Structure 1
Amino acid sequence: MSAVLTEIRGHILEVTLARPKANAIDLATSREMGRVFAGFRDNPDLRVAILTAAGEKFFSAGWDLKAAAAGDPVDGDYGVGGFGGLQELRGLNKPVIIAVNGICCGGGLELALSGDIIIAAGHATFALPEIRSGTVADAASIKLPKRIPYHIAMELLLTGRWFDAKEALGWGLINRITRAEDLMAEARRLADELASGPPLVFAAIKEIVREAENMKFQDAMNRITRSQFETVERLYNSEDQFEGARAFVEKRDPVWKGR
């Protein structure tokens, strides 16, 4: 049985990590996830992805330490998208929803941070326990202080303590909490909403946000006005740009074609 299950529902790709007991990720699984998400990125018919995991106890415990003990190198080839297929996947200009169904720790939390919207079941718990095993949560050390208050991020990184979904919501680390039985229904509802939206606009938003993260405001605006964002230029010269204006004037819902 594959460790990475996929299902296409209309314009939506659902990806389920399925490696009992803890949905830990070894090199082979990471590479497969990279292939799946690269395929999602490159398929013009797919507009939104949901990533979740099998079972109710674990979203993902992150790096598979048993595989590492058996010879998987920690600095090995994780695949096209880096660890978990998302962290370093270039040009991913489509929304990714993360549905956290349980324990989300270490590399599992780093994987969740690679999504755009995070929904968690009420029983989900989170931690970055790498400090306790004498290693560093490298991706989280980069991302977390940019997502939540610096001092909270540093506490979580330096202590490895566990925190629950309510605290994660309070710090803005996740978007919302649902009952466990409603998690996928809520993820699919949101995915449906996004899939009906303008894909070229979403692509432009993601590129601007990603590229402008470490830029000064005026520098980023200058790149836009100088036509240096590919997705923005594609949007401004698209059928969808004119369709949006026509639909507004005609007082109807726009029909987005992604071109």
Structure 2
Amino acid sequence: MSVRLDIDKDTGVAVVTLDRPARLNALDLDTVRELRHVWRALRFDDSARAVVLTGAGQRAFSTGLDRDAVVPQPPSPYMQDDPLLTVGPKANDLWKPVVAAVEGMACGGAFYLLGECEFIVAGADAVFFDPHTTYGMVSAYESVLLAQRMPYGEVARMMLMGTAERISARRAFDIGLVSELTDTGAALAAATTCATVIAGYPAAGIQGTVRALWAAKETARTTGFAQAPHLISLGNLPSEEQARLFTGRSPQQPRIR
């Protein structure tokens, strides 16, 4: 199993852990299926009233879709299969609050998950970036999700600069992507403390508030997502060219800001 679920029935807090530290908690297709199952199962478990989402180890929360994942695509520019579109809690109709605890790297497809969490707590060593443009890919869904959490100029810079820059936890806190900054290694404990407080309140009011918050940005997200498949079809390099860029690019030390 690459996803762990632990529920503290005394506090009402469930901790969902991406458990592939050797792969930087990258999301292969099995992990995606497991996450969907976990979110759907939590809908029916009243002992879990708030959720913390984190990644195993200190190197990464998640680096997005596993590079080795093979996702067959229909032979049409009008149809695309993206397994990460249904990887998050909201996509699985879970309206219990989810708090993210981030240590290390969070990049690329990780934003499908972070974009569906209520707020993010990050350790001091956390960094955020999006590699899509570096490798000839359109950052579409990730851009739509983060544009609702960060000032436009900040998210535009993150997406356009690719792997050349990483946003530090401090910078992410300053621009509002992260709501609390902790010492390295302390993000999970801090996120769990928040989740414990939330889980102690009447569940119906909490879940209604989560639904209302999501409704405030749902229209813009839906409109942006409707454009994404066409933009990806037009802008992505062929997969062979993407692979060439990925394997042939000389390693460079990213700028941390």
Q: TM-score, normalised by structure 1?
A: 0.75
Alpha-carbon distance between aligned partners in 2 of 1:73 and 1:101, rounded to the nearest angstrom: 32
Higher RCO (Cα < 8 Å, 6 or more apart): 2
Alpha-carbon distance between aligned partners in 2 of 1:139 and 1:122, rounded to the nearest angstrom: 27
Deviations 1:110-150 (A, max 9, x none): 32222102001100111011111111232222122222211
SS of equivalent residue, structure 2 residue 96: coil
Question: 8 Å contact 2:88–2:112 — kept in the other structure?
Answer: no
Match of 1:120 among 101, 122, 130: 122
Match of 1:130 among 129, 132, 141: 132
Question: 8 Å contact 1:107–1:137 — kept in the other structure?
Answer: no
* Residue type at the aligned position of 1:163: I
Correspondence list, 1:26-65, <5 A: 26-65=28-67
In the alignment, structure 1 residue 176 sits paired with structure 2 residue 180: yes
* Residue type at the aligned position of 2:158: L
- How far has the Cα of 1:77 moved from its partner? 6.6
In the alignment, structure 1 residue 109 sits paired with structure 2 residue 111: yes
Alpha-carbon distance between aligned partners in 1 of 2:38 and 2:112, rounded to the nearest angstrom: 18
Aligned residues: 209
Question: 8 Å contact 1:47–1:195 — kept in the other structure?
Answer: yes
SS of equivalent residue, structure 1 residue 147: coil
Is the alpha carbon distance of 1:196 and 1:87 closer, same or farther for their aligned partners in structure 2, counting shifts above 3 Å? closer
What is the match of residue 78 of structure 1? Answer: 83
Higher Cα radius of gyration: 1
Question: 8 Å contact 2:103–2:185 — kept in the other structure?
Answer: no
Unaligned runs of 5+ in 1: 216-259
SS of equivalent residue, structure 1 residue 137: coil
State, as a whole percentage, how many aligned pairs show the same letter.
31
Alpha-carbon distance between aligned partners in 2 of 1:183 and 1:206, rounded to the nearest angstrom: 22
RMSD of Structure 2 on Structure 1 (CA): 2.1
Q: TM-score, normalised by structure 2?
A: 0.75
Question: 8 Å contact 2:17–2:56 — kept in the other structure?
Answer: yes
What is the match of residue 12 of structure 1? Answer: 13
SS of equivalent residue, structure 1 residue 99: strand
